[in-house]
Amino acid sequence: MEPTDWGLLAPLCLVAGAVFGVTLWLWSRVSGGGARQVAARSGLLVATQALLTAALVMVANKYFVFYATWNDLLGSDKARVQVKQVQTEKGKEAEPSGLIHRTTTALGPHRKGHKPEPARDGRVDRLKITGARSGLDGEAHVYLPPEYFQPQYAAKRLPVVLLLSGQARPQGGPSDDRLAWIRQADVPRAAQTLARSAGHGQPVIYVMTRSAKGLTQTRQPPAGPGADKGLAKHPTTRAAGGGHPASCLNVPGWGFGQAETFFTQDLPVAVGDTYRVPRTRKGWAVAGFGSSGQCAARFAMVRSDLFAAGASLNGTFDPPPGPVTSGPAKADLYGGSKVLKQDNDLLWRLKNLPPPPVSVLVAAGQDSGPADQQASRFVALARPPLRAEKIALPGAAATLKDARPSLPQILSWLGRQVRPE
């Protein structure tokens, strides 16, 4: 008979009630100051309190099931349990090596005439990620600063800044590329120079990735809406641009349109499983260029449990337009919901919803049209606990290369918003 069985609980409650009644009936009979009377009253009190307490504890255990068996309670269960990582793909088991593949690259800064030394030069890794939650695959390049490999930082979890590339023009641009943050912005060298300058010495890990257009469908569908349709039949295989999500949103009802889940769940988990990074929001920030600027600001605002800060470089803040697919099978990006579309309008959120406790930097070229106008409006609408700042990018800043002169200022601001552990 286990602790949660009514065959044990019912008699215990009846005995406790009976003893309580007997105590009330005998109390007047054992009154007095003699030793026998005091001992009798003490015995009645102890018995009543012990039985009532036991009954209440057992009833609570029955309701909450703290201990289902006597072995659980006494710690005598010798059974051995092996826990494996389980992918949310139809309940199949997945080995971690099948979800994350890391390789070392030669893309990091190095000294001429010397072999690369991570403890002096830092290192750039390439991560290929299978999105167990989103059903999307992607890749990222991770810059690890020299401090990551130095003994004095061995116990430190260095802060992380997620960088999303994007396009500054509707028709596309060279900055929406998987290596744009390295080839055009030269983030590793800029971070190294910034760390060596006075007053900006905090080392930061930079995770550089392409926009949602760099994501592809995983080989098997995820659990959830659309999973039963199969890859070949799923409409997002015909997405505009070729087999990738149309935006960084989670698209309602589309099993492969979960780009936000990739960037805010699959990617951070992959980085956390691979590197020594903070486990709380205080150590994470996100930034995006062009079309990914809205994504970065939105991730910071709606996922303030994950990010402490966000930065938009030459981005706008209204909801992304466009259908999910091209051709005859077009589907609305918001599933026909005006409320969902409104919810992704960041300027509307600033006016109508409580502001989140994050910091947001908006950077826009002075002659970049809507990006500059919306950046000013965003700052004007911001109110505590949200903090917003604006800086000017040179010219129209159509590419990350154009924005490179302002990059040290932007990286410095992001570095001040995050904390190591």
Alpha-carbon distance of 367 to 240, in angstroms, equals 29
130 and 61 within one domain: no
Does residue 161 sit within a domain?
Answer: yes
Alpha-carbon distance of 237 to 251, in angstroms, equals 14
370-406 b/e (C-beta count within 10 Å ≥ 16 → b):
ebbebbeebbebbeeebbbebeebeebbbbbebbbeb
314 and 187 within one domain: yes
Taking only the tens place, the pLDDT of each residue in 17-60 is 898 888 888 877 777 778 888 888 888 888 888 888 988 888 88
Question: Tokens 């769940």, residue?
Answer: 265
200 and 66 within one domain: no
What pLDDT is attached to residue 201? Answer: 64
Amino acid, single-letter form, for residue 412: S
Taking only the tens place, the pLDDT of each residue in 113-143 is 778 889 999 999 999 999 988 889 999 999 9
Give me the mean pLDDT over the 373-401 stretch: 90
125 and 68 within one domain: no
Give me the mean pLDDT over the 268-284 stretch: 96
Does residue 108 sit within a domain?
Answer: yes
CATH number at residue 228: 3.40.50.1820
Question: Tokens 């992959």, residue?
Answer: 270
Q: Does residue 71 carry a pLDDT above 60? A: yes
Taking only the tens place, the pLDDT of each residue in 163-206 is 999 987 654 568 888 899 999 999 999 998 888 875 556 899 99
156 and 54 within one domain: no
59 and 184 within one domain: no
Mean pLDDT taken over the chain: 82
What pLDDT is attached to residue 172? Answer: 53
Does residue 226 sit within a domain?
Answer: yes
Tell me which of 41, 74, 107 is where a domain ends.
Answer: 74
Kindly list the distances between the CA atom of residue 7 and the CA atoms of 17, 68, 219, in Å, as whole numbers in the listed order. Answer: 16, 14, 53
List Cβ neighbours of 34 (8 Å cut-off, separation of 6 or more): none
What pLDDT is attached to residue 233? Answer: 39
Tell me which of 15, 43, 74 is where a domain ends.
Answer: 74
Domains in the chain, number: 2
Give me the mean pLDDT over the 350-375 stretch: 89
Question: Tokens 């088991």, residue?
Answer: 93
Instruction: Map residue 73 onto helix, strand or coil.
Output: helix
67 and 113 within one domain: no
State the residue range of the domain holding 56: 6-74
310 and 217 within one domain: yes
What pLDDT is attached to residue 173? Answer: 67
127 and 30 within one domain: no
What pLDDT is attached to residue 91? Answer: 36
What pLDDT is attached to residue 96? Answer: 47
Confidence of residue 85 (pLDDT cuts 50, 70, 90): very low
Does residue 91 sit within a domain?
Answer: no
Whether the pTM exceeds 0.85: the reply is no
- Identify the H or E element spanning 130: strand 123-130
100 and 62 within one domain: no
70 and 128 within one domain: no
364 and 294 within one domain: yes
Give the phi and the psi of residue 220 in degrees, each rounded to 5.
Answer: -125, 145
17 or 159: which carries more pLDDT confidence? 159
What pLDDT is attached to residue 82? Answer: 46
Does residue 244 sit within a domain?
Answer: yes
Does residue 79 sit within a domain?
Answer: no
Does residue 82 sit within a domain?
Answer: no
What pLDDT is attached to residue 90? Answer: 37
What pLDDT is attached to residue 4? Answer: 72
